[in-house]
Structure 1
Amino acid sequence: MSAVAKHVTRRPLEVSNATAEQAQSRNSRLRTRFPARSAEPSWQHTALSLEETLRRLTAPPFLPAVNATRAGRRRGVTKLLQWLSSFPGETWQQRWVASGAEGFPGAAWVELPLRWLRECGSSRSYDREDLSSGLLMLICGDVIRPGLPWMLTRTHRHLASVMAEVRDPDGFARLHQLAESGPTSSRKDAQIAATRIATLLACKGGAIRDITVGDCVELVDAQRQVHPRGGQKKVDFYLRLRALGIFPEDAPATIRAFGLALGQLSIEELVDRYQLQCRPIRDLIVDYLRERQPSLDFASLDAISRTLAGLFWARIEALAPGTDSLRLPPALAREWKEELKVKRRTVTGPDGKSVEVASPRLNAKDELMRVRAFYLDIAQWAAEEPARWGPWAVPCPIRDDEIHKAKDRKRRKARMDQRTRERLPVLPVLVGTADRRRRAAAALLQAARNTEPGAVIPGTDGTLRRSIAPKAAGHLTWAEETSGGKRRNLTYEEEEAFWAFAAIEVLRLTGIRNEELLELTHHSVTQYRLPSTGEVVPLLQIAPSKTDTERLLLVSPELADVLSTIISRLRGPRSAIPLVAAYDVREKVWNPPMPLLFQRDIGSEHRAFTPTAIRKLLINALAVTGLTNADGEVLTFSPHDFRRIFVTDAIMNGLPPHIAQVICGHRHIDTTMGYKAVYPAETIEAHRAFITRRRASRPSEEYRAPTEEEWDAFLAHFEKRKVSIGTCARAFGTPCVHEHACVRCSLLRPDPAQRARLVDIHDNLIARIVEAQREGWLGEVEGLQVSLAGAEEKLAQLDVQISRQQESVDLGIPAFREIVARTTAVAAPPEPS
């Protein structure tokens, strides 16, 4: 029997270091689908003779307009071809490889032909420049095709322009038109992208239209090895090639789809992250996960694999090497459970040394539940398939009472309530600070853009001047402090301030989850026209996330203002919001391109915000406020805190809980009420509000001061409660429902002293029933029998009451005086005989 365990986000376990090859195998299917062009052993231009090659490279279109450049290229081609002729090979490519020039990165290769020229006695002072020009002509003329890693170690100032002249004028013209249609700030990025594309032509041959998706992936892989840094400039060329339409329609929207973090691991890869020593147990866990895979999403499957392989069996093997059975000794099971309660991690202290820090594992019982489900599932499956699962069916080392979470739920509820109570009062401070920060950053950026480079920015009291940054990206505006010279990226500061404000506003006004925030698109903003009045009501459509249910939220004026600001910002000079392919960090898949509302420009690429980026925005926004918690530490907000605050604030202001449940998309109202924090004063205020509402619904004259007559009538009611056989317990102002037939009334409290009278009534009723039956008064018999049943019930009550009064219970109360007397007697000294 499987236990339902909720997926809990936690820090990743320590796993073996994944190499680039292992990471690439995760998307091997995608790479197989888009392969790179293989290297050709020979082609037309590399097989020409020296004279034919020299003749070709000194004729149009290889003739530049400047005579000096033309002469230098001709001399360089001649020298390089003569040098390469000294190496064995049937083609110039084979001779180039045999020369070993690619073993010298950057410009160091030129030392090889320079040494040969000196040995030949034909060395000149301008040989170095000639050889560089000659190599450029050999590469652009497709005489040789160097390897990508070696080409990336060099600077190529003229490679793209020469390729545009001699190799593919039409392709580079289209690329130039694409750059001209984009913003002016991205012109420098376009030049870098053109150089990357020219590098592909140099190493792979052909024209731009011949470049494949696999070629681009191979280039990016080489860039990761040669240049660990480089950011967006590494992959911008792919976006431009895709925009030219040379790739298939099913090509990924971004080359990051081939990155090292892509793809769902297979079940075997999920388990093998922890290098389990016992192969049978490893295979058992793989079979178990494969059996459960159809009913789980990838995030849940990943969580269960981490628990079973990482937190359970890997720890068991660490505690008791050589263990090969699920039947754990009691001592080993206890030791593992105790270790599971603590989470250890290594942090770097202020002195720079690594320190191991231990903290309680808050979800320890969730991990125990998964292991217990593992044992119980195997036991159940063993009854259905004895041959397969029977050998592994053993008693579970985790008892049922070890996974009870009642106290844990209460503690978690208390922690969350305290967290909400601590953050709800300061939410207006955070909102106001974020808004002011956004406006100030926007004003500073605009002032800097209107300022000449090197001049002091107005409105900064002379503390900032606009930086002179010729190598910076054109869309970025930099400033530097006049006192210390520290540089600041004002464009980044403005973007961060705006998106922090937008995230805070949308989260607090809607109460949606973080993943729902990141999935909001332009299509999520819809409208509904009321059929009666024709009024247009704006609505926000929330895509199914955790509960797989779609819902619509009413857009308030504040939320409408924020959403319109976001949409206007994303549109810019364009008429439509860019389509963005977002990566699902939980399911490890790429979603199709959508007009996401939370996206940003990185270079020429539009990227979706990630959960980590949203958390970083909140951290930086809170740092500006200076808010602290009760311990004096910096106050932190998580995206889910806004959801709890939203529910608490809504219910405190009168929103019915079941409406809040629908708005939040909870399946059960208990979940909604669990989000609501209860304040100590709230209980008293709620009771007072209830009294007020009750009084408002009743006649006001009932709450005035009573008159003398009304008071006398109230006192007379208690005097009239006394009857012959007991006391009437009916409330004041209520009539007698049985018309004074007290024996029948359940409100009669019989008096034990009147038992004899009640017995007489009982006997009289029996005699009257006999008489009625004898005379044929059947209509009266039924009423007398009801009264007889009431009398018998009252007699039974009296008998029980009298028996209780006669019973005595010895409570064992000590007789203090006797004890004191005996103690005194024992303590007194004996009298002398």
Structure 2
Amino acid sequence: MTATNLEEQVLSQPSSATVLPASRARPAPRPRSADWPATQARRDTTWARLTRPPFAPGPSSRHRPGAHHRGLGQLLDWLEDQPGQTWQDRWLATGVDTAGKSWREIPRSWLREHGVAADWHHEAFFRALWLTIAADVIRPAVSMLVVADIRRGALTTVMTRYRDTDGLTRLRTLCSADPGLAPAKATRISYRAAQILAAKGGVLADITPGDVLELLDAEADAHGTGIGATHTFYRMLHTLDVFSDQAPATLRELRNTGQRSPEELIDRYGLVCRPIRDLLVNYLRERQPALDYSSLATLANILGNLFWADLERHHPGIDSLHLPAEIADAWKQRLRTVTRTRRTREGGTAETTVTTTVARVNYRECLTPVRAFYLDLAHWAVEDPARWGPWVAPCPVGREEVNRTKDKRHRKSRMDARTRARLPVLPILVRTVNQWRHDAAALLEEARRTPPGHTFTAAGHTLVRVAPPRSAATKIWAEDPATGQRRDLGREEDYAFWAFATVEVLRATGVRVEELTELSHHSLVQYRLPTTGELVPLLQIAPSKTDTERLLVVSPELADVLSAVIQRVRGTAGAIPLLAGYDVRECVWLSPMPLLFQRRIGSEDRAITPAVIREILDAALARTGLTDPATGEPLRFTPHDFRRVFITDAVLNGLPPHIAQVVAGHRDINVTMGYKAVYPDEAIQAHLAFLARRRSLRPSEEYRVPTEEEWAEFLGHFEKRKVSIGTCGRAFSTPCIHEHACVRCSMLWPDPVQRDRLVEIRDNLVARIIEAKREGWLGEVEGLQISLAGANDKLAQINKSANPGRVVNLGIPTFIPDGTETGDLS
């Protein structure tokens, strides 16, 4: 196969970067009707319908016909006692829809007022109410059904028997056929479907995605969180072809409405000044064609949140881009810091929240868009003065404030230090996740063979198998008899395996986390070498940051890891399930692909997201016990740390930088070298190599081993350097130019301790000069004066080292009319 054929083969593979259309419109639920035939019927018509089959109790029913008639009569009497033209109008007038969990007290109070106090009469009344709802005479609100505390079996039974027997039976059968779906979740799914039919009317086939979202939102409002099986509920309805062909396959796709418009991006920050809000929206719309969505969202956050929303919080009523100097300076000062909140636990105490203020690392990156905003307005005002001219104002951010040269050096230094701290401990992390994987698998396998209530031992742990609750019947639970802690062994094994796979793939490829989550079965391709015919496995990396595909050679170790991943995610049919990945940066769903990084959550398969990857890495690092040497806190690895470690390790081990650039997928080799950390050992080795090269250019006899005589002469030179008034500094094997007249020699380093001796020598020289002049020894005078000058120079050196000279004021230069420069040098 030639290189051209390889390229054609790679390009012919389905790419995970094929983007599905994302709609911003949230599907609306069916409107709640106020008028339909069954609710318009008169009392006699409704009575006749509900007292005949199938609503009347049959011979095999445990409810007596008399009780059914009595309860139905009381229900219709209660509704007729309310104002309204239809049964639905009267139902709304009772106030039951808005009464919350105490809704039963409203009809009970009416019954007691009308002489019906027995509880069994009340039960007959409520059984008649469920029949009336199943007969579509009244339709309670979704919010009321969520908080009404109705027995699931009662509502589901009557809706199955009287409203949609075929649809609800098929739904229950589908849930029962799923081995990963616990019975409690299957019951909850049927109950949710019954609630939607009760509130909206119709049958199961009439349910829309908007109805599902309305019910789930009502549950979240009532309970503060999801109550389980929400994704499975949507998936089951989708599997039954309840929804149209255009409906998303999963609830996550339905809830995520795609990219936001410029208006929505800005309106998240609640800006008060409407003209500035409109200006920012128009500016984003003007920049939108040249930016990807991630950059557009970042720009909206800086301009709308960090810039203008911050100004409005601290200066209410501000409405102009012309900022006074004090306001601009205060804003930039606030921008320099950011508040961080972290949770900590010390000494076994309860978890506490610690809030700290730290310097903003990307301070200058936040200033740059603001400066660009002001300069763009000034530039665009030249072309369209009517639209942009009124907003032109002096820029509060100067050119030097956005100079990032020093910040880039600091960032490079921080990243190098981070890489140097993590590269040596990477083998520890690899061993830890591998051991964790084997231990977790052994525990899970042994627990599966152990009946509930019995003790088992595996991987050095002794645990007791615990019978799971009905809502988690498919899980494997165990309890530590020493601590009483319960452990979900299936979840632990899942985390352990994906921690192992994540660490191995990241350290072997250096891919970005987005590229990791988009790896699919189609990413594995083969290339046959034209010379030897050998098959080389390659890993195709889909375009992410640089929009450029690339191919990586799969090592045998990486091939083993990918094989284990493929074997794990294969379905019962032997094929990898097709899942739609989500691009968290561009906020779009990708086309369904056989993704490698997917896992089973409950009864459905889900793609592993970058957030889950980071969570798994944190769990793996916690097991190593490693700490950050700079802070002493637990060491953290981000997915991008593996990329820096990979590039650094590859270049240090001889991979040419331009090849590392291609492997990493960088457009500029300087970016690749920026990822590579510089080690002190590397600088030492380079210096030693330089010395070796320089030594090779000098005569070889200079580097021979010295003889004993030469070595003794060398040591003797240093022994003879010490003299009475200091130390001689002449080089080895050089003669004394002053014939040992050390006071005269400029190579003498005077010893401050010998200052008194030098003063004595100076005074003696002065006395001898006086004597020589008196006796007429003029030749002696000249030599003595040279020695005296040397002695005074040595004393001056000692005085200077003991008492540094005073500071001299050089003055400020002034200019005289003829252009010459003068100054006060006093």
Which TM-score band applies after superposition, normalised by the shorter structure? 0.7 to 0.9
Give SS of 1:592's match.
Answer: strand
Give SS of 1:539's match.
Answer: strand
RMSD, aligned CA:
3.5
Corresponding residue for 1:150?
144
How far is the alpha carbon of 1:617 from its aligned partner? 0.8
Moved more, 411-420 or 319-328: 319-328
- Contact 1:36 1:215 (C-alpha < 8 Å) held by counterparts: yes
How far is the alpha carbon of 1:659 from its aligned partner? 0.9
CA separation in 2, counterparts of 1:104 and 1:280?
Answer: 43
Q: For 1:395-437, what per-residue CA distance to the aligned partner results, in whole angstroms no more than 9, with x for missing partners?
A: 4333322222222212111111111111111111101111111
Instruction: Determine whether 1:201 maps to 2:200.
Output: no
Distance 1:199 1:818, change over 3 A: closer
CA separation in 2, counterparts of 1:819 and 1:485?
Answer: 83
Corresponding residue for 1:3?
none
How far is the alpha carbon of 1:51 from its aligned partner? 6.4
- Contact 1:220 1:235 (C-alpha < 8 Å) held by counterparts: no
Output the TM-score relative to the length of structure 1.
0.75
How far is the alpha carbon of 1:641 from its aligned partner? 0.3
- Contact 2:430 2:503 (C-alpha < 8 Å) held by counterparts: yes
Instruction: Determine whether 1:253 maps to 2:249.
Output: yes
- Contact 1:192 1:233 (C-alpha < 8 Å) held by counterparts: yes
Q: For 1:302-341, what per-residue CA distance to the aligned partner results, in whole angstroms no more than 9, with x for missing partners?
A: 2112222322233444555555443433444333333322
Unmatched runs of 5 consecutive residues or more in structure 2: 1-21, 705-791, 801-826
Corresponding residue for 1:41?
35
Distance 1:538 1:52, change over 3 A: same
CA separation in 1, counterparts of 2:564 and 2:319?
Answer: 61
- Contact 1:57 1:141 (C-alpha < 8 Å) held by counterparts: no
Distance 1:91 1:291, change over 3 A: closer
How far is the alpha carbon of 1:30 from its aligned partner? 2.2
Corresponding residue for 1:660?
660
Distance 1:693 1:649, change over 3 A: farther
Give SS of 1:67's match.
Answer: coil
Distance 1:505 1:374, change over 3 A: same
Corresponding residue for 1:570?
569
CA separation in 1, counterparts of 2:632 and 2:287?
Answer: 47
- Contact 2:182 2:470 (C-alpha < 8 Å) held by counterparts: no
**Which amino acid in the other structure matches residue 227 of structure 1?**
H
Instruction: Determine whether 1:561 maps to 2:557.
Output: no
How far is the alpha carbon of 1:510 from its aligned partner? 0.8
CA separation in 1, counterparts of 2:502 and 2:575?
Answer: 21
Give the one of 39, 54, 58 matched to 1:60.
54
Moved more, 223-232 or 82-91: 82-91
**Which amino acid in the other structure matches residue 129 of structure 1?**
E
Instruction: Determine whether 1:375 maps to 2:371.
Output: no
**Which amino acid in the other structure matches residue 291 of structure 1?**
E
How far is the alpha carbon of 1:456 from its aligned partner? 2.0
Give the one of 176, 195, 215 matched to 1:219.
215
Corresponding residue for 1:777?
none
**Which amino acid in the other structure matches residue 608 of structure 1?**
A
Q: For 1:44-73, what per-residue CA distance to the aligned partner results, in whole angstroms no more than 9, with x for missing partners?
A: 366253465355455237646743246565
Corresponding residue for 2:358?
359
Give the one of 301, 307, 310 matched to 1:306.
301
How far is the alpha carbon of 1:532 from its aligned partner? 4.7
Corresponding residue for 2:539?
540
Give the one of 156, 161, 164 matched to 1:168.
164
Unmatched runs of 5 consecutive residues or more in structure 1: 1-26, 707-814, 824-833
Corresponding residue for 1:141?
135
CA separation in 1, counterparts of 2:447 and 2:454?
Answer: 9
How far is the alpha carbon of 1:99 from its aligned partner? 2.9
Distance 1:115 1:512, change over 3 A: same
Corresponding residue for 2:402?
403
Corresponding residue for 2:551?
552
**Which amino acid in the other structure matches residue 470 of structure 2?**
K
- Contact 2:24 2:257 (C-alpha < 8 Å) held by counterparts: no
How far is the alpha carbon of 1:235 from its aligned partner? 3.6
**Which amino acid in the other structure matches residue 333 of structure 2?**
E
- Contact 1:57 1:137 (C-alpha < 8 Å) held by counterparts: no
How far is the alpha carbon of 1:816 from its aligned partner? 5.3
Give SS of 2:26's match.
Answer: helix
Corresponding residue for 1:782?
none
Output the TM-score relative to the length of structure 2.
0.75
Give SS of 1:312's match.
Answer: helix
How far is the alpha carbon of 1:463 from its aligned partner? 4.4
Within-5 A mapping of 1:485-564: 485-564=484-563
Q: Percent identity?
A: 50
- Contact 1:62 1:166 (C-alpha < 8 Å) held by counterparts: no
**Which amino acid in the other structure matches residue 367 of structure 1?**
C
Give the one of 232, 235, 241 matched to 2:237.
241
Q: For 1:92-122, what per-residue CA distance to the aligned partner results, in whole angstroms no more than 9, with x for missing partners?
A: 333333333334434x444444444444445
Corresponding residue for 2:649?
649
CA separation in 2, counterparts of 1:566 and 1:526?
Answer: 16
Give SS of 1:582's match.
Answer: strand
- Contact 1:375 1:393 (C-alpha < 8 Å) held by counterparts: yes
CA separation in 2, counterparts of 1:325 and 1:100?
Answer: 51
Corresponding residue for 2:633?
633
Give SS of 2:356's match.
Answer: strand
How far is the alpha carbon of 1:216 from its aligned partner? 1.6
Q: For 1:196-226, what per-residue CA distance to the aligned partner results, in whole angstroms no more than 9, with x for missing partners?
A: 1111111112111121222222222222222
Give SS of 1:635's match.
Answer: coil
Q: For 1:618-664, what per-residue CA distance to the aligned partner results, in whole angstroms no more than 9, with x for missing partners?
A: 11110011011214221110100000000011111111111111111
CA separation in 1, counterparts of 2:107 and 2:424?
Answer: 75
Distance 1:457 1:90, change over 3 A: farther
How far is the alpha carbon of 1:674 from its aligned partner? 0.8
Q: For 1:317-367, what per-residue CA distance to the aligned partner results, in whole angstroms no more than 9, with x for missing partners?
A: 455555544343344433333332222345678799876522111111111
Instruction: Determine whether 1:342 maps to 2:337.
Output: yes
Distance 1:632 1:85, change over 3 A: same
Give SS of 2:632's match.
Answer: coil
- Number of aligned pairs? 681
Corresponding residue for 1:424?
423
How far is the alpha carbon of 1:123 from its aligned partner? 4.2
Corresponding residue for 1:613?
612
How far is the alpha carbon of 1:239 from its aligned partner? 1.0
CA separation in 2, counterparts of 1:143 and 1:394?
Answer: 66
